[in-house]
Structure 1
């Protein structure tokens, strides 16, 4: 009887938690942000060999600040419409920020 209960518990655990080999690769997007004071460059990567560079003006005048904000808005709103949400951020150095977005399942 104990063996039957143990076997049932093991089978239940396997059924509720699939093996790692059966899971698919994560559906993420990495956005690398670099700015030099005059422009902002975003590199959006959806996988190896699937990167897109987007550049827009940046600076301290009202016009430049609005252009930069609208550039970020355009990129991020497109990713959110595709079902991605911000998972984490990190910085490397002074001028680089990286965003990691994960697709909602």
Structure 2
């Protein structure tokens, strides 16, 4: 192979290597650009019974259980609404935003996912 051919071959190898690096970066942009996010899971159980619960989970072993009066009377609905409003307002003040919600099969338990981006 001539000197010119070797130079062209070396240049093509560099271009292919750089192209492979760019493809690798393009295929994983989220990992390269974002840090870890704090996630809070809130389980709301306001089903049958006289007591409802908001279970706030901030991580492994970090749980807070907030009880409230459950029921369908205006007084019970108002009380449970006030408790939920306080908890959600506190999460928003801490920088969390609601990202997802889903309900259980019986309709008594709802799950809310709050995320704080870093």
Normalising by the residue count of structure 2, what TM-score does the alignment of the two structures yield? 0.70
Give CA deviations for 1:52-105 in whole Å, capped at 9, x if unaligned.
100111222222111111011001010011111111112223121111111133
Which moved further from structure 2: 88-97 or 3-12?
3-12
- Gaps spanning 5+ residues in structure 1: where? none
Alignment size in residue pairs: 103
1:1-105 equivalent positions in 2, closer than 5 A:
1-11=11-21, 14=25, 17=29, 19=31, 25-35=36-46, 36-94=48-106, 95-105=108-118
User: Partners in 1 of 2:69 and 2:21 — Cα distance?
Assistant: 58
- Gaps spanning 5+ residues in structure 2: where? 1-10
Question: Greater CA radius of gyration, 1 or 2?
Answer: 2
RMSD: 2.6
**Offset of 1:24 from its aligned partner?**
5.2
Runs in 1 of length 4+ with deviation above 6 angstroms? none
